[in-house]
Amino acid sequence: MTAKLKVGIVGGTGMVGQRFVQLLDRHPWFEVTAIAASSSSAGKTYEESVQGRWKLATPIPDSVKRIVVQDASKVEEVAAGVDFIFCAVDMKKSEIQALEEAYAKTGTPVVSNNSAHRWTPDVPMVIPEINPAHLEVIAAQRKRLGTSTGFIAVKPNCSIQSYVPMLHALLDYKPTKVVASTYQAISGAGKNFDDWPEMLDNVIPYIGGEEEKSEQEPLRIWGSVANGEIVKAAAPLITTQCIRVPVTDGHLATVFVSFENKPSKEEILNRWKQFKGRPQELGLPSAPQQFITYFEEENRPQTGLDRDIERGMGVSAGRLREDSLYDYKFVGLSHNTLRGAAGGAVLIAELLKAEGYIQAK
């Protein structure tokens, strides 16, 4: 059996960092050997650093309790003990960009949960089942950064996972216009109900920056690689509203879509059922066996019942029907901190390892 790759989690004390810790416990390919956070947490054991603010229902894994948290700003020290890092920090965009590039320049691959580099032209933003070909821009990025082994790859916004997979399976029919409203869990803000009691019995019709991300990031996912950069797609035209709702986990979307070549309902359902991507072909450890699950029941998918489908790594759809203004409408659902955040990043790392981009130092 080959040795596991050594992983660092930069930003390991926050909610997404905690998800990384949870998901990597007993991972068949990866082992957490370093956790880094702000200077206020540095020097404490991981158990001490998250005392009173562990947000997950499962306990802290024993394997990380006694890891001494390092200062994330001491890049060389953290990088020296790992083969690659996951990054999920709460900092200004410019600071995140500088920090991630500093890690990459040490020769350390960075798989980022942050949004800071999503529009850097030579940084791939990946949903592994949808655009694995974008990884080829890593060669150009490495040349720019002056490293033969380091690079940055990023995960897209959590909300788009609830509708982009379903649309992607139908790209052959050339969708032209999309209207999507997302109903997003409070964990997307890094909070639970203890932190945010104002969300009980409440809906907030605004999430800062979310609508622009939800409208533009799918076009980059569907873009093409040219001259070492990713050029975003020109269509479809997407408009969104993003709403915070009082649920713990799970982003639900209501979607309207028109096509240049309108498919039948049966064709759509068949495309969703049959859709597989590179993770399924490779049998990656975190890959859902069935990426898109369609529910025939009129009242599904439901956030509380269905967000954990395929260990939270699958997406689900329902209520597909023809519409009076658009061709079709449907409902989508994804788990925002698993498929949409830490789990999606772990799947990216598995793909990068399988394709030879991440190796032991």
| Distance (Å, whole) CA 249 – CA 257 | 26
- CA 354 to chain centroid, in Å, comes to 18
Hey, what amino acid is at 237?
A: L
Could you give the C-alpha distances from 336 to 268, 312, 332, in angstroms and in order?
24, 9, 12
Catalytic residue among 134, 158, 242, 335: 158
Q: Which residues pair with 182 in a beta bridge?
A: 242, 253
Q: Write out the DSSP string of 58-71.
A: SPPPHHHHTPBPEE
**Torsion, CA 15, CA 206, CA 115, CA 283, rounded to 10:** 70
Three-state secondary-structure class, residue 41: coil
| Distance (Å, whole) CA 141 – CA 119 | 13
| Distance (Å, whole) CA 10 – CA 38 | 9
Catalytic residue among 117, 134, 168, 251: 251
Q: Which two tokens stand for residue 183?
A: 């109903």
Q: Which of 104, 189, 113 is nearest to 142 (CA)?
A: 104
| Distance (Å, whole) CA 29 – CA 315 | 24
Q: Which two tokens stand for residue 112?
A: 């980022």
Three-state secondary-structure class, residue 157: coil
Q: Are 288 and 310 in contact, with CB atoms under 8 Å apart? A: yes
242 flagged as catalytic:
no
- Looking at the annotation, which residues are catalytic? 158, 251
